[in-house]
Structures are given as structure tokens and as C-alpha cells.
Amino acid sequence: MAESLQRPLGPNALHLCLDMQRLFSPDGPWPTPWMERVLPTVAAVAEHAPARTIFTRFIPPRRAEDMPGTWRRYYQKWAVATQEHLDPRLLELMPALQRLVPPASVFDKPVYSAFAGHRLSDELKNRQIDTLIVTGSETDVCVLATVLGAVDHGYRVVLVSDGLCSSSDEGHDTLLSLYRKRFSEQIETVESDELLESWRL
């Protein structure tokens, strides 16, 4: 069961939606079977405040040799996901979200965490954001990496529990439990209905 918000959402909250792309749909090489199930929830949160939404896209390299270290080995295994083999349309956001851009923004990233590099951090500072409302894919990979980055940067993190998905049910359930039990002072989980009712613009 998701918890309630610890306090109301303030005026400096932003929706960060991670990697809801065709790459992870049933059409892509890394299908997340229940992405389509959570898509209406993610769209509802984005539609609530499209100008205060940032979508990220996970962008694989052109070739495995373009990446360092273990990423190179990773893409040697997943050569089908490199850009020299991938249909570029699979890098796009799911259509229900793409239509919100603009006013929503899109930030591309080459690794799991959206905080890799400085672009997202700089944007959040420029917009005086103090709270990140997080949805997207996958709960136990890119969401995990980004959420821990947000915690390290001192942001209040609100996870929309019915707006997250993974290709692993076990990983999803385990990580939601971890977020609630080990990071309860810094990470909150909430159902989308309560979030939308509480997020006053």
C-alpha cells in the first residue's frame, strides 16, 4: 500500500518522467510488459502540468565500441539496441506523452541516471525546483539510479507508485519496499489520485 504525502506539495514541484519510450514498449528490444498499463496514469500526471514536466529518453550508442568499460560489454550483448541496428522511431516517447511536447521538455541521457552530467541539475536549479514527482520506467533500473541521484542532490522525491513499471515484477516490488523502508525521510510514495488532488498549481 502506498503511503500518504508527508506534507502538501509546494509551488516548486516538477514531474520527472523517465524513459517512457517505444524502446521499452512491446515493439522494442527491451519490452516492459506493463508499460501500457501505467501509461494512462503517467499521461494524467503529465497533463496536469505539462509545462512542469520533463521527459527523459534513454539513448543507446551508435555502436558498442562508442561506450566505455562495462557499457561496451553490455552493448556487445545487446547489439540489437544500438543505433546502427535500431529503428530510430523506437527512441521516441510513447505517443500519448509525445503530444505534450512542448510545453513539456525532453532530456536525453546515455546512462541510467538522469543526473549524469549537469544538464538536469542545472535546469532544476534555474527553475528553483525543490521537489521531484517521479514516474516512468524501470522502477529497479533508471528510476532507481535517478531517485538516488535526486536524494544525493537533496530533492524531496515523490514516487507515483501506480505510475512506475518494470520488466521484473520482483524487482519492482522489492524496490518499492526499499524506497519506503530505507529512505522514508527522503522518498515518499503516493497513488496518482492523491498526488493529483494535492498538487495545486
Q: What is the pLDDT of residues 104-115, one digit of tens each?
A: 999 999 999 999
- What's this model's pTM, rounded to 2 decimal places? 0.95
Q: What is the pLDDT of residue 144?
A: 95
Collapsed DSSP state (helix, strand, coil) of residue 188:
strand
Q: What is the pLDDT of residue 72?
A: 97
Residue 8 located in a structural domain: no
Question: Any alpha helices (H) in 78-168, and if so which ranges?
Answer: 95-98, 119-126, 142-152
pLDDT in tens, 128-147: 999 999 999 999 999 999 99
CATH at 35: 3.40.50.850
Residue 2 located in a structural domain: no
Quote the domain boundaries for residue 116: 13-198
CA 186 to chain centre: 17
Residue 131 located in a structural domain: yes
Q: What is the mean pLDDT of the chain?
A: 94
Considering its fold, how many domains does the chain have in total? 1
13's enclosing H/E stretch is: strand 13-18
Rounded-to-integer distance, Cα 17 and Cα 43, Å? 10
Q: What is the pLDDT of residue 7?
A: 87
Residue 81 located in a structural domain: yes
Q: Which parts of the chain sit beneath pLDDT 50? A: 1-2
Q: What is the pLDDT of residue 123?
A: 98
Residue 5 located in a structural domain: no
Q: What is the pLDDT of residue 172?
A: 87
Q: What is the pLDDT of residue 1?
A: 47
Residue 191 located in a structural domain: yes
